[in-house]
Amino acid sequence: MSDFQSFWVEKNDAGVTHSIIDRHVKDLPVGEVLIEVHYSSVNYKDALSANGMPGVTRSYPHAPGIDAAGVVMESSVSQFSPGDSVIVIGFDLGMNTPGGFGQYIRVPADWITPLPEGLSLRESMIIGTAGLTASLCVEKLLQMNAVPDQGPVIVSGATGGVGSVAVSLLAKLGFPVVASTGKPDKTAYLEGLGAQSVLARSVLEDPNSRPMAAPAYANAIDTVGGEILSNIIKSLDYQGSVAICGLVSSPVFSATVLPFILRGVNVLGIDSVELPVLDKTRNWNRLAGDWHLQTLADMAIDIDLEGLSGAIADIFAGKVAGRVVVNLRP
């Protein structure tokens, strides 16, 4: 148990390099629970960290991986015991704390969720941060009294990790889903997840100087930000809501007050990183129970540590559809 493998990112004046190195458990930071990681997943934030992006990871060398699922090996707290299957997502994991791209992590107990009955460790990482974020978006819409009879829900960035789970979960709950994507070759994939129709991303990218557009969507989940979010807000129906959780396109969007004061439109912010673990656990239990998705296998791409550099490059190139799962115990 003393030595383990880790994906390793180094950064210097010449740029960023990736390698797989041997590490020792004693080199991990102080923490209450030592976990043997079986699976992780690749999120956009992981790609940013692995690319040396400022604002995600402060110091290098570093092991990214904001998601981890595995088995407790050591615990100094009563709520977890060796042999427990657990999930860790968010907080500082994989940002400045060694993350799930290493075969062991050591973390505080209040970062940890017990693996709920009904989910395997691998399934939990098909979901991961992206899927949990999608579930939080859907939960927020339901809290705003969204119901399927109101009309279509549009999901932007629909082939991404958040988007794929959002499309599938909304469809499972009976909502008519419009999936927006820049990948026309993924229409069948999105329809397989439950989308009723697929909309080209370019339709939502067109600049529109008007403060409002004709109502087209009852509600929305936006994963990209920028001009797309601006156009979604303009196109929401009366008292429609958009849950926002991403900035792949841009963190900046333009709007006037008119959609908010004339149509009662709502913008709902979603955070899955610092969300208290009790709230995360509630959503994990839903995703293992009534919200369990039969489509999880359809959105999963499996790799090992050796495949991480290629997967990260594919994310930046826009080539990934669905969720990339990292098997650390192949």
pLDDT in tens, 55-70: 899 999 999 999 999 9
Q: Which of 140, 87, 126, 136 is nearest to 275 (CA)?
A: 136
d(CA 277, CA 261): 35
* Sequence-distant (≥ 6) Cβ neighbours of residue 209 within 8 angstroms: none
CA 119 to chain CA mean position, Å: 17
Distance CA 286, CA 129 (A): 15
What is the pLDDT, as a whole number, of residue 252? 87
Q: Per CATH, is 130-269 categorized as 3.40.50.720?
A: yes
At 114-136, the pLDDT tens digits run: 999 999 999 999 999 999 999 99
CB 241 within 8 A of CB 268: yes
Compute the distance between CA of residue 101 and CA of residue 67 in angstroms, rounded to an integer.
Answer: 8
CATH of 3-115+295-327, one of 3.90.180.10, 3.30.56.10, 2.40.70.10, 2.60.200.20: 3.90.180.10
pLDDT digits 0-9 by tens, 254-313: 999 999 999 999 999 999 999 999 999 999 999 999 999 999 999 999 999 999 999 999
139, two tokens: 């939960």
Query: Which phi and psi (to 5°) does residue 140 adopt?
Result: -65, -40
Domain boundaries, the chain: 3-115+295-327, 130-269
